[in-house]
A = this chain, B = another copy of it.
């Protein structure tokens, strides 16, 4: 319904903005939730920009060799780079920004960063220095763009064609959000959502609600949510949302608000377009609308990271097939691996430390393979018995691709 709300005025405003800042916007890789005109303009640029380019300034410290640069704000980890040691190093972690990253000057005095909190008994603003006094927790989570796996949709949805590399497993340190709520007197009555707002500078000349990064998650997420200032043992970088990021363990990446400036406990979802129309499970051929399911908790998913076709033929004999598996808010119970495209399945072994139910597990199947061609697939089961689906759920924007079949790879053994 509200897709129809004054669409020409919105499109006009967006076109103006796009005209003024076409290259910056194209680089940002804005998705289909902006509306057709903006999406088309934005979609054209990343393809052209995909040739080898230096990394953007805010991410120049990353390992370019292990990243696919779709645009200046969409960097994907190469599948062959994931390795087997559970944690994704910052230098290889994917980036997906919905707006250009803020000026790096916001990191000059991290403790001075201010967060406003509303929807509590005693709403007020808190400096990061004060947040650091309210408690400390560390949690390992899978952080994943909901469009991860979009590249496997034959429908070629608009948006970045990620395969598996818009995901990683990292450690966050910060204060549990519930501690902050307690310090501010508890929740106001009737609040059903946690609504976080990013501190990006908004482009001028457009309705702020059409571009602002503001997302609402159900209040139940309060139990695990964290306000994080550190990732993988280092102060949180600009590329990953520093100085302060809302972490909602088990939820798709977009809900983990970078440069979080405002947290509101609200009775309703945000009206921002990124919430009302963005990141919805819109049926193919339909238009995004607020009554379609939003992209929130991640489902059970796994994929194989080695051996891969891109790393060349494999020598016959013993082969270690390895990959990652996670269950969103659920722990992983087990992973099966197939070497014949899903006809037969063998239980894989989970390896390495278990970093908790929000992290991914590494798995390995040791198998003796004679020369030939093999289609490797993995299928995870979570602690509640949910099994990773064979087929993707078709949708307009290519979200939530958990299909084991889409993630299969065919290798040659010689």
Contacts and interface: CB of A to CB of B under 8 A. Distances in A.
Q: State how many copies of this chain the complex holds.
A: 2
Contacts of A266: none
A288 interface: no
Nearest to A321: B136
Interface in A331-358: 351-356
Interface stretch (A25-33, A39-47, A137-145, A202-210): A137-145
Contacts of A355: 353, 355
A165 B137 CA distance: 23
A233 interface: yes
A233 B92 contact: yes
A106 interface: no
Interface stretch (A83-91, A216-224, A372-380, A394-402): A83-91
Interface string A281-315: 00000000000000000000000000000000001
A180 interface: no
Interface in A71-94: 82-92
Nearest to A77: B233
A362 interface: yes
Among A137, A317, A353, the one with the most B-chain Cβ atoms within 10 Å of its Cβ is A353
What size tier do the contact residues of chain A reach?
35 or more
A359 B353 contact: yes
Given A83-B173, A230-B85, A233-B87, A320 B136 contact: yes
Interface string A158-178: 000000000000011100000
B230 A136 contact: no
A192 interface: no
Contacts of A133: 315, 317-320
B233 A86 contact: yes
A89 B89 contact: yes
B137 A83 contact: no
A112 interface: no
A232 B87 contact: yes
B233 A82 contact: yes
Contacts of A85: 138, 171-173, 230-233
Contact of A352 (B134, B137, B322, B366): B137
A136 B350 CA distance: 10
Interface in A122-141: 129, 132-140
A364 interface: yes
Given A135-B366, A318-B133, A352-B171, A234 B91 contact: yes
A320 to B, nearest CB: 5
A173 B233 contact: no
Contact of A322 (B86, B136, B140): B136
A87 B87 contact: yes
13 contacts: A63-B234, A83-B233, A84-B173, A85-B232, A86-B233, A87-B171, A89-B233, A91-B234, A133-B320, A138-B352, A138-B353, A140-B353, A173-B352
4 nearest A-B pairs in the assembled complex, by CB-CB distance: A138-B352, A85-B171, A133-B318, A353-B355
